[in-house]
Chain A
């Protein structure tokens, strides 16, 4: 069975500083990997996803993530954090379950706080 580990429960960074959120996965085959952001009162929003190809994936809001198969990692990065980035971030792995569907398994999330 697949699993996702986000080692950091809570991270605090200063506005303008760089950010890296860690994600490690366990999956027997080639994984489909996702990062979502959840703001209070909002649904989860997809930041980016990796299916295949270039291991460095660009997403929305200036985020990027790098897939490293040797380390079973898919860390999320942003070069300069904005106060509006404060939210909960979830990494997910989703093996293809047929008919265009991905069954998502989520990590426990990392809460990001941004100091002005």
Chain B
């Protein structure tokens, strides 16, 4: 199946700093990528849909100025958590849609963000 990578896998930062998370589709082009957030013992919550070359579509309740998404190429989407605070600590997961396989979503391994 298609492979999606995320970098970094784990990041610890101080409160007030910004953190960038990368999501890459390694062997296919993805016009659409998705960003999810997963709290412990909770389900994945869709944060936003990232479309190559256009603005991301954010889900209700997600602050677009805090979670900046850029999808500048067909293989890369980035999520920047700006001015991170401890409540932003979470597991962030991206997925990429592969049109070659019925638009199935392939998921990255996730990024564990800890804000001190």
Query: Known contacts being A43-B109, A44-B93, is A106 close to B43, with CB within 8 Å?
Result: yes
A76 to chain B, nearest CB (A): 16
By the criterion of a CB under 8 Å from any partner CB, how many residues of chain B are at the interface?
Answer: 25
Q: Which residues of B contact A9 (CB under 8 A)?
A: 41
Whether B107 pairs with A43 at a CB distance below 8 angstroms is yes
Classify the secondary structure of B's interface with A: strand
CA gap between A42 and B108 in the complex, in Å: 7
CA gap between A101 and B43 in the complex, in Å: 20
For B93, give its contact among A41, A43, A45, A105 (CB under 8 Å).
Answer: A43
For B102, give its contact among A36, A41, A44, A100 (CB under 8 Å).
Answer: A100
Q: Which residues of A contact B41 (CB under 8 A)?
A: 9, 108-109
Does A107 make an interface contact (CB < 8 A)? yes
CA gap between A36 and B38 in the complex, in Å: 14
Whether B105 pairs with A104 at a CB distance below 8 angstroms is yes
CB contact list, B85-116 vs A, under 8 A: 93, 95, 97, 99, 102-110
Interfacial residues, chain B to chain A (CB-CB below 8 A): 1, 4, 9, 32, 34, 41-46, 49, 93, 95, 97, 99, 102-110
16 CB contacts below 8 A, A to B, read A4-B43, A41-B9, A43-B106, A43-B110, A44-B44, A44-B95, A44-B107, A45-B1, A100-B103, A103-B46, A103-B49, A104-B34, A104-B44, A106-B43, A107-B43, A109-B43
